[in-house]
Structures are given as structure tokens and as C-alpha cells.
Amino acid sequence: MRRQTFSALALIKGALIAHRGWQPQWRKPEPKPSYDAVIVGGGGHGLGAAYYLAKEHGFTNIAVLEKGWIGGGNTGRNTTIIRSNYLFNESAALYDHSLKMWEDLSQVLNYNVMFSPRGVMMLAHTVHDIQVSKRHVHANRCNGVDNEWLEPEQAKEFCPPLNISDNIRYPVLGAALQRRGGTARHDAVAWGYARAADALGVDIIENCEVTGFQLGANGAVEALETTRGLIRSRKVGVSAAGSTSVVLGLAGIRLPLESFPLQALVSEPIKPVFPCVVMSNTIHAYVSQSDKGELVIGAGTDAYTSYTQRGALHINSHTLDAVCELFPQFRRLRMMRNWGGIVDVTPDRSPIIAKTPVPGLYVNCGWGTGGFKATPGSAHVFAWTIARDEPHPINAPFTIERFRDGHLIDEAAAAAVAH
């Protein structure tokens, strides 16, 4: 099926016929009885994995099964922050692999994901913050990841709305700035990957929930039971975020995951006032401004595990306290919407992209509160893992067995990294 190509010229042509000539961006096929590989979960990570399986590994008979609609989970619920300033070598390699892929993703997919490397600035409010931030700056630079230390005046120069007065509860004592970091349009990531994967023959099947696995005599995966019938496949990649424990539980696999609600909210739209992304992990505020003009604000996780995709108001209220102190001019803004997503958190706050104890069954999970930034890189190495039945060197450390063998990638303990 020939796809329309997007370009400025195509837009102008479209305008001349009142935009009546645009076609659907992907098919809505019925599931086939059998595939060479099946991805469970139609978010950015899953759709991307299907795309790279088709594009780089020659798989042409693939399906993505999505219980709801594509991009309707955490891909559509996050605050779209992209950065790679993680402390440990393993993490830096993984997240920077992803950041580099963001840089030309719009061209690769011929779909504008609106990647905007406007700079991510992480604030320090205590002596401990300063020490940890500087440690991150140095560690990042050793790994070829850009990160620089800013004094408070330099931070204010980079982000003029920032309040650097010393009479607030947690004054700004400095900041670490990753200039290559930024934001992207979350829906466009799902849609861009879906469109590109579909063009390579991938079947994207929505409203299709996996209800069971059929394993062969040797214990390997043979088929999936779904709400739309039995689907045979000897390779299954699960990329189901907060529902991963549930899906892999169907195959008898227990994981080191807990699923928590994570909330975000947006303000009413205003004129452009906010040039970058500002994060404060100590007082818990994440702010950027979308192209529509809304301030996009990330709040924290609720204390308890839940699958409700909503959280408590006091979590948002706590974040707004911090935002109002750092940016007093936002105090009169009204908040327009808030929502929650279910994030799957590992004990060391690093993801799992690995083979499982069941042959032919692979998992990409545990991204916790920070999976969006990793979408292209994660999808890329997950596709490699599925295609070759062995991990890419970048995701080789991110196994399930690391919890048994003691090789944790403990970003949880590396304070100043938001989770």
C-alpha cells in the first residue's frame, strides 16, 4: 500500500483541496492466525520495536496487539521530557543512544515528532544536591553526554522566569543543564511509528487483549490467547508498561515490578514564557511549555500500587506548591486538566529489556516514571533482542537476572535523577 509522503509541498497541495485528500495513516487489519513475531503493547516502545524489527531485521509478518488504542497509555500521558544525563555508564549508554535517535527521528519516520532540544535544567537546592549534580556533570562528560554546571545567575539567564531569590524555602543554589535535552510531541511518536511500521507491513491490532499464553512441550512460547482469537507466534515481545506484571503473570513469570499511579497536569494556554525544561527533584516540580501554550507539569507517584490511572489531589498540590515558589508569576494560572498513568517501577529504577525464563518471550519494562525519553533507543535494542534472541550490547546489562546476581544499575540511589 503506497503511503502519502509528508512535506511542505504536500501540505500546500493539501491546502489547495481543503485538506480533503489525506488518507488514513495505517490500516485496521483483522488478526491473522499466525505471525513471525508479536509485540504486546501499542505504545511508543512497542510500535517502535515492531518498526525496527521490520526495518532492520527483515521481519515482515509482525503484529502489534494493543488492549485499548495505540498511544493511549503512558505514551499519551507523560510530560514528554527527553534527556540522557543519567549517572551510571550502562544508563548513559542506553539513554544517550535514544537521545541520538530522537535527533533525526522526524526525518527517519517522515513524521514530525516535534523534537525540540530546548535544554533540560535540573535545579540544586541543597549542598547535597550541588555535590550530586556536579558528580552527574562529571560522570556524564566522561561518557560523552553533555551536561554543564550553572550558577544561579546563569540558571536565571537560561530560564528568565526562575526565582533565584534566597528568601524561599529551598533557594536555587545552581543547576545542571543538558542542552541537547528537550521535549517531543508524545502522540506523534506513537502515530509516527505506527504509520512507518504499517507501511512495512506490520499489522496494528487495537482492542485486542492478551488473555493467556500457550507454551510448547519444551516450555517455549507457541501462541497467544487474545480477545480476538488465538494468534500463533514463536517470538513474543511484551512492552506493556504498568500492566507487564499482569501480562507476564499469564505465562507464570514473576517480576521485580510494582505499578504506581503517576500524575501530570496542564495549565490553561498562555503566550510563550518558558524557554526550556526545568526539573527540581528535591522539591518535586517538572515544568515545560507545550507549543499550544499550556504549562506541562509533572507531579509525583502516589504512595501505593494501583491500576486506576488516577491519583490523589494532594500529590498534584504538593508539586504546584513547588512550581509557585520557583515561578511566582504562575500563581494565578488555572490548571486545566490532570490525569494519571500507571508506571512499572523496578527496585533500582532501571528498566528491564531482556529475555525471560520462557524461550521466545521477551520483555521491555520497568521504565518507571521516565520511559518516554527512551522510546526510540529502547525500541531499537528490544527489536534487536527479539530478532537475534540475544541482547544488543547496550541492553545487555538490563536483565531480570541482575537482581539475583547483584549487578543492579542503581539509579534509584543516584539522587538528583528523577524517578
Partner 1 sequence: MLLIACPYCGNRPEIEFSYGGEAHLVRAANPALLDDQTWTDFLYMRSNTKGVYAERWRHVRGCGRFFNALRDTTTDHFLAVYKTGEPRPALDGGDA
275 binds partner 1 (CB under 8 A): no
Q: Least distance to partner 1 from the beta carbon of 116, Å?
A: 35
User: Residue 179, class by beta-carbon neighbours within 10 Å (0-12 exposed, 13-18 middle, 19+ buried)?
Assistant: middle
Contacting residues for 390 by C-beta, under 8 A, at least 6 apart: 355
Q: Rounded to whole angstroms, how far apart are CA atoms 413 and 394?
A: 21
What count of residues does the chain have? 419
Closer by beta carbon to partner 1, 220 or else 303:
303
| Binding residue (CB under 8 A) for partner 1 from 25, 305, 338, 399 | 305
User: Which residue is listed with cell 540522557?
Assistant: 84
CB of 401 to partner 1, least distance (A): 9
C-beta of 174: minimal distance to partner 1 in Å? Answer: 31
Interface with partner 1 by CB under 8 A: which range of 132-140, 209-217, 292-300, 303-311? 303-311
From candidates 72, 161, 256, 293, binder to partner 1 by CB under 8 A: 256
Q: What is the H or E stretch that residue 165 is in?
A: none
Interaction of residue 22 with partner 1, rule CB under 8 A = no
The whole-angstrom separation of Cα 106 and Cα 110 is 6
Q: Report DSSP letters for 348-397, one per residue.
A: TS--EEEE-SSTTEEEEE--TT--GGGHHHHHHHHHHHHHHSS--TTTTT
Query: Of the two residues 366 and 377, which places its CB atom closer to partner 1 in the complex?
Result: 366
All three cell numbers of 103: 535527533
**Residue with smaller CB distance to partner 1, 48 or 351:** 351
- Residue from 19, 28, 254, 337 touching partner 1 (CB under 8 A): that is 254
**Interface residue with partner 1, options 187, 206, 222, 258 (CB under 8 A):** 258
Instruction: Tell me which of 25, 154, 306, 399 binds partner 1, using CB under 8 A.
Output: 306
Verify binding: residue 212, partner 1, rule CB under 8 A.
no
Residue that the C-alpha cell 550541588 belongs to: 130
* Burial environment of residue 157 by CB neighbours within 10 A (0 to 12, 13 to 18, 19 or more): exposed
Print the binding letters for residues 400-419 with partner 1: x by CB under 8 A, - otherwise. ---xxx--------------
Q: Which one, 220 or 313, has the nearer CB to partner 1? A: 313
Judge contact between 340 and 358, C-beta under 8 A.
no
Residue 313 binds to partner 1 (criterion: CB under 8 A): yes
Nearer to partner 1, 175 or 342 (CB): 342
Q: Return the DSSP state at 23.
A: P
Half-sphere exposure of 98 (CA within 13 A, CB side): 32
Q: From residue 111, how far is each of 46, 102, 132 by CA, in Å?
A: 17, 12, 38
| Options 105-113, 147-155, 193-201, 256-264: segment touching partner 1 (CB under 8 A) | 256-264
158 vs 85: CA distance, rounded Å:
18
Nearer residue to partner 1 within complex by CB, 198 or 344: 344
273 part of the interface to partner 1, by CB under 8 A: no
Q: Does 314 bind partner 1 (CB under 8 A)?
A: yes
Contact in structure between 63 and 39 (CB atoms under 8 Å): yes
Provide the residue type at 269 as one letter.
P
CB of 258: closest distance to partner 1 in angstroms? 5
Least distance to partner 1 from the beta carbon of 92, Å? 24
Binding residues for partner 1, rule: CB under 8 A, are: 243, 245-246, 254-259, 303-308, 312-314, 344, 347, 403-405
